[in-house]
């Protein structure tokens, strides 16, 4: 039978595409991968709208016991629901390849991802450099890659999208303020003037929802700004075209 890999979009149960919903209706089992992102509604809302029971696909199930999902797809239609897009930021290539190796038919149904929803702030998507992820710091784990990535993108005048850590099991979603505090901590150590308090950055919250929030300002201002509920991400602009500058004025 078929493994449907279905992007749900960014916000609620109604962001699924018509094609996605048609596929959902054909499925015998639905799995929701929700450890790498978060919808603004509980799973029950999806179940009610889709008229189907949804099982959580934990990281452990997807990464270590994917065979359990794929085994079902040999005889049944399986829907693997991904928040955002199926292959954006979190790729799910491993599951795709494993299904291919088992000759399981796969259908991909795309949707909006955070990777393109950030277009709304007005910076050209073509002018973003490497995207980077900011993990929660721990006493013995303080990776400086996001700082290096911002620096590298700056050298080519490119914008940087910083995706922020999620620890679903602890109900922890990194805020723009926490990301800024960690980048300032790295700056304090490295002193390369890459991420200073006078740098102008963009904080985004809940993009794609009715109460999305976009704020452009100096790090010193945004570090104290209340962005509200998750999810958040941070954008560091590179060299700005005058049209981009015009757009950014809207969020000041």
Ligand X SMILES: C[S@@+](CC[C@H](N)C(=O)[O-])C[C@H]1O[C@@H](n2cnc3c(N)ncnc32)[C@H](O)[C@@H]1O
Could you list the residues that contact ligand X (CB under 6 A)? 10, 36-37, 82-85, 88-90, 113-115, 163-164, 166, 204-208, 231-233
Q: Minimum distance between the CB of residue 75 and ligand X, rounded to whole angstroms?
A: 28
Q: List C-alpha distances in Å: 212 to 36, 117, 168, 203, 230.
A: 19, 11, 21, 11, 10
Exposure string of 185-222, with b = 16+ CB inside 10 Å and e = fewer, is: ebbeeeeeebbeeebebbbbbbbbbeeebbbbbebeeb
CB of 202 to ligand X, least distance (A): 11
Instruction: Compare residues 162 and 199 and give the one whose CB is closer to ligand X.
Output: 162
For residue 21, what are its two tokens?
Answer: 């919903």
Nearer to ligand X (CB atom), residue 1 or residue 209: 209
Specify the residue, 56 or 241, whose C-beta has the smaller distance to ligand X.
Answer: 56
Task: Please report how the helices 176-190 and 145-155 are oriented relative to each other, as an axis angle in degrees rounded to 10.
Answer: 80
Instruction: Give the contacts of 128 (CB within 8 A, at least 6 positions apart).
Output: 153, 158, 159, 160, 161
Q: Are the C-beta atoms of 213 and 202 separated by less than 8 Å? A: no
Q: How far is the CB of 86 from ligand X (least distance, A)?
A: 7
Closer residue to ligand X in complex, CB, 158/207: 207
Closest approach, Cβ 134 to ligand X, in A, equals: 8
In angstroms, give the least distance from the CB of 4 to ligand X.
16
Toward ligand X, which CB reaches closer, 89 or 247? 89
Question: Which residue in the shown chain puts its C-beta closest to ligand X?
Answer: 84
């Amino acid at each position: 039978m078929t493994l449907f890999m279905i992007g749900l979009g960014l916000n609620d149960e109604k962001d699924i595409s018509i094609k996605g919903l048609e596929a959902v209706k054909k499925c015998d089992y639905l799995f929701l991968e929700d450890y790498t992102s978060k919808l603004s509604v509980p799973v029950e809302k999806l179940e009610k709208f889709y008229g189907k029971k949804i099982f959580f696909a934990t990281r452990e199930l997807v990464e270590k016991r994917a065979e359990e999902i794929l085994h079902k797809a040999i005889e049944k239609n399986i829907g693997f629901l991904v928040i955002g897009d199926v292959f954006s930021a979190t790729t799910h290539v491993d599951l795709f390849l494993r299904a291919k190796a088992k000759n399981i038919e796969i259908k991909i149904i795309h949707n909006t991802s955070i990777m393109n929803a950030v277009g709304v702030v007005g910076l050209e998507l073509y002018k973003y450099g490497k995207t980077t992820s900011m993990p929660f710091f721990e006493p013995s784990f303080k990776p400086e890659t996001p700082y290096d990535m911002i620096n590298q993108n700056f050298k080519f005048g490119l914008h940087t999208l910083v995706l922020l850590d999620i620890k679903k099991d602890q109900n922890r979603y990194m805020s723009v303020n926490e990301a800024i505090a960690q980048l300032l901590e790295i700056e304090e150590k490295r002193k390369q003037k890459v991420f200073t308090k006078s740098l102008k950055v963009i904080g985004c919250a809940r993009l794609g929802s009715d109460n999305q929030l976009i704020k452009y300002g100096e790090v010193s201002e945004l570090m104290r700004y209340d962005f509200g509920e998750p999810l958040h991400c941070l954008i560091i602009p590179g060299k700005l075209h005058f049209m981009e500058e015009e757009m950014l004025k809207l969020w000041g």
